[in-house]
Amino acid sequence: MTTAKTAEDLFRFLDELGIAHKTKTHPPVFTVAESVSMRDEIPGGHTKNLFVKDKKDNFFLLTVEENASVDLKTVHTIIGAASKVSFGKPEKLMEYLGVAPGSVTAFGAINDTGKNVTFVLDKDLMEHDIINCHPLSNDATTSIGRDDLIRFMEATGHTPLVLKVSG
**Domains, in order of start, for the chain:** 7-163 (3.90.960.10)
Looking at residue 44, its amino acid is G
For 61-73, give one letter per residue: b (16+ CB within 10 A) or e: bbbbbbebebeee
**Proportion of the chain above pLDDT 90, given as a percent:** 86
Residues 6 or more apart whose CB falls under 8 angstroms from that of 25 comprise 139, 140
41 or 120: which leads in pLDDT: 120
Mean pLDDT across the stretch 102-108? 95
Residues 6 or more apart whose CB falls under 8 angstroms from that of 38 comprise 24, 26, 141
- Residue 130 parent element (H or E): strand 130-133
Q: How far is CA 63 from the centre of its chain?
A: 5
**Is the pLDDT reported for residue 32 higher than 80?**
no
Q: How far is CA 20 from the centre of its chain?
A: 18
pLDDT for position 29:
79
- The C-alpha angle 90, 12, 37, rounded to 5 degrees, equals 60
DSSP annotation of 126 reads G
Mean pLDDT across the stretch 43-67? 96
Confidence (pTM): 0.94
For the stretch 58-96, pLDDT in tens is 999 999 999 999 999 999 999 999 999 999 999 999 999
pLDDT for position 38:
67
Q: How far apart are CA 45 and CA 39, in angstroms?
A: 10
Mean pLDDT across the stretch 129-147? 96
Local confidence band at 2 (pLDDT 50, 70, 90 cut-offs): low
